[in-house]
A and B are shown apart, each in its own frame.
Chain A
Amino acid sequence: MAYSMPHAQPVPNRDRLAVVLGIVATILLLTALLLMNRLESRYAFITLGAFVAVSAVFLAITYSKRPYIAFVFPAVVIYTMFVIFPAGAAFRYSLYNWTGLGPATDFIGFANYTEILRDAQFRGALWNNVQLFLAIFVIQNVIGLPIALALDTKLRGHEFYRSALFLPVIVSLVATAYIWQIILGPNIGMLNPLLEKIGQPDLQRDWLANTFLTFKLIWIVQAWQHIGVPIVIYLAGLQSVPTDLKDSARVDGANGWQVFKGVTFPMLAPAFTIVTISTFIGMFRAFDIPYVLGGPGGAPDGTTDVLSLVIYREAFGLGGIVGTQYRQGYAVAAGVVMFAFLIVAVSVQAVFLRRREVAM
Chain B
Amino acid sequence: MTTGSIGVETIPQPQKRAGRSVKATLVRLVIHALLILAVIFALLPVVLAFLASFKSLFDFYDNPLGLPATWEWQNYTSVWREAHIASYARNSAIVTFISVPLIVMLSCLAGYGLTRYHFRFSRTIYLYFLAGLLIPIQLTILPSLLQMKALYLVNTHAGLITLYTALGLPFSVFLMAGFMNSMPGELAEAARLDGAGELRAFWDVVVPLTKPALATVAILNGVTIWNEFFLALILSPGTPTLQVGINNLRGYYSTEWGYIFAGVMVAALPVILAYILLTKQFIRGLTAGALKG
A residues sitting closer than 8 Å to B (CB atoms) are 1-4, 7, 33, 35-41, 44-45, 63, 66-72, 74-76, 78-79, 81-87, 89-90, 93, 100, 143, 147, 149-157, 161-175, 178-180, 182-183, 187-190, 193-194, 197, 224, 228-229, 232-233, 236, 243, 246-247, 250, 255-257, 259-260, 264, 274-275, 277-278, 280-281, 284-285, 287-288, 291-292, 307-308, 311-312, 315-316, 320, 322, 328, 331-332, 335-336, 338-339, 342-343, 346
Contacts and interface: CB of A to CB of B under 8 A. Distances in A.
Contact of A79 (B13, B45, B117, B132): B132
Given A66-B119, A68-B117, A83-B167, 17 more contacts: A36-B147, A68-B119, A72-B110, A74-B110, A75-B169, A82-B162, A85-B147, A90-B142, A150-B31, A154-B6, A167-B275, A170-B271, A170-B282, A172-B229, A174-B227, A188-B52, A255-B14
B113 interface: yes
Contacts of A281: 292-293
Give the interface SS of chain A, mostly helix, strand, loop or mixed: helix
B53 to A, nearest CB: 10
Given A172-B226, A182-B48, A187-B255, A342 B64 contact: no
A259 B142 CA distance: 52
Given A168-B42, A322-B154, A178 B113 contact: no
A2 B185 contact: yes
Interface residues of B, number: 111
A151 to B, nearest CB: 8
A332 B290 CA distance: 26
Contacts of B140: 83, 86-87, 90, 335
A167 B138 CA distance: 27
B207 interface: no
A274 B35 CA distance: 24
B2 interface: no
B118 A2 contact: yes
Contacts of A243: 1
B283 A166 contact: yes
Given A68-B113, A161-B35, A224-B42, A4 B118 contact: yes
B64 A67 contact: no
A173 B151 contact: no
Nearest to A341: B136
A194 B150 contact: no
A40 B150 CA distance: 6
A316 B14 CA distance: 60
A165 B60 contact: no
A36 B275 CA distance: 40
A264 B11 CA distance: 12
B166 A167 contact: no
B287 A155 contact: no
B196 interface: no
Interface stretch (B77-85, B210-218, B260-268): B260-268
Contacts of B134: 339, 342-343, 346
Nearest to A4: B118
A173 to B, nearest CB: 6
A30 to B, nearest CB: 13
A153 B135 contact: no
Contacts of A179: 45-46, 48-49, 264, 268
B114 to A, nearest CB: 6
Contacts of B119: 4, 66, 68
Contacts of B113: 67-72
A150 B11 CA distance: 8
Contact of A182 (B45, B163, B166, B275): B45
Interface in B1-38: 1, 6-15, 28, 31-32, 34-35, 38
B283 A175 contact: no
Contact of B143 (A2, A86, A167, A312): A86
Contact of B144 (A82, A156, A250): A82
B138 A76 contact: no
A72 B111 CA distance: 8
B143 A41 contact: no
B145 interface: yes
Contacts of A284: 136
Contacts of B90: none
Nearest to B243: A174
B129 interface: yes
Interface string B224-265: 001101100110010000010011000000010100110010
Contacts of A247: 1
A322 to B, nearest CB: 7
B98 interface: no
B146 interface: yes
Query: Most B CB atoms within 10 A — which of A182, A285, A287?
Result: A182
B273 to A, nearest CB: 10
Interface in B107-147: 107, 109-110, 112-120, 122, 125, 128-129, 131-132, 134-147
B117 A155 contact: no
Contacts of A81: 166
A312 B237 CA distance: 14
Given A174-B243, A179-B264, A256-B8, A233 B49 contact: no
B117 A3 contact: yes
Given A78-B169, A167-B42, A281-B293, A90 B143 contact: yes
B46 A168 contact: yes
A70 B116 CA distance: 13
A68 to B, nearest CB: 4
12 contacts: A67-B117, A68-B116, A72-B110, A75-B129, A152-B10, A164-B39, A174-B229, A178-B261, A179-B49, A255-B14, A287-B138, A335-B140
B48 A155 contact: no
A256 B13 contact: yes
